[in-house]
Amino acid sequence: MQKSSSNILERGIVRCTRYAFMPNRLRFCGPGNRDDILEFYANANRNLIKGSITPLLQEFETMYPYLEFIAKESGIRDPFDERVVTAYWLGNSLTNKISAKDYHQYLIREFDIKKKVGRKIANEISDNFSRRSIPHHNFHALNIFRHTGKSKGIMVANVFDQCRISAARIIKINEDELVVLRKRILADESGNIYQTKAQIDTIKNIFENVTLAQGLDVSDIISIHWGSVCEKISMDEARNLQKITNTCIKIFNGS
């Protein structure tokens, strides 16, 4: 493997770990080797990567099949290529090029939707599957996850707000947490969801004595998953993430 390809793969694995870490630590998904993932995370922050975390990341029962699917549809050999990882967690040109039809067929095949939720709900998912549907973490969390037995009925807005990837701007840095401006997702009386204007929120940046993201400054834009910082992201990445989130909300509300 050429050095440039190796670097893309290594960056992809590190980036993937940053987003997958917290839900795994909270026992929502992924393997039971949580201390190994935490150790890798800590070493990655010090640029002291030792060994391979890939076998553990492959045990994430939703994330890894998505990475495989995006890679295959994009003609990319390795699912942990940074471009593939970015497509799934933040969204990029790869995400946008995959057709809703191919994505729908993948869901039916990979997650055995009809078996999990029954024919009636499976047909409802198929009927509501629009051309805007995209293979992205936020779309799965809101529009697929709520049907497949991981939650009862419509997912509570607060749960989705934590489960989705969101972007925020840092306004203050404390010892172990970040004060940010972030848009929340709430539900109205009819059950539709909407996004608020940016509000002050507090985000973890130290977990079990490990700093999650280093080198941050006030005004930086960060990504967030389950109340913890994942990484600093660019303005373009934040805009793309917001665009995808808007689409997810519209599809959820049937508009």
**3-state secondary structure labels for all residues of the chain:** CCHHHHHHHHHHHHHHHHHHHHHHHCCCCCCCCHHHHHHHHHHHHCCCCCCCCHHHHCCCCCHHHHHHHHHHHHCCCCCCCHHHHHHHHCCCHHHHHCCHHHHHHHHHHHHCHHHHHCHHHHHHHHHHCCCCCCCCHHHHHHHHHHHCCCCCCCCCHHHHHHHCCEEEEEEEECCCEEEEEECCEEECCCCCEEECCCEEEEEECEECCEECCCCCCCCCEEEEECCEEEEECCHHHHHHHHHHHHHHHHHHCCC
pLDDT in tens, 117-131: 667 766 666 666 667
Q: What is the pLDDT of residue 139?
A: 92
The fold of the 157-252 domain, in CATH, is SH3 type barrels. (2.30.30)
pLDDT in tens, 219-240: 999 999 999 999 999 999 999 9
> Domains of the chain: which residue ranges?
3-147, 157-252
Q: What is the pLDDT of residue 35?
A: 77
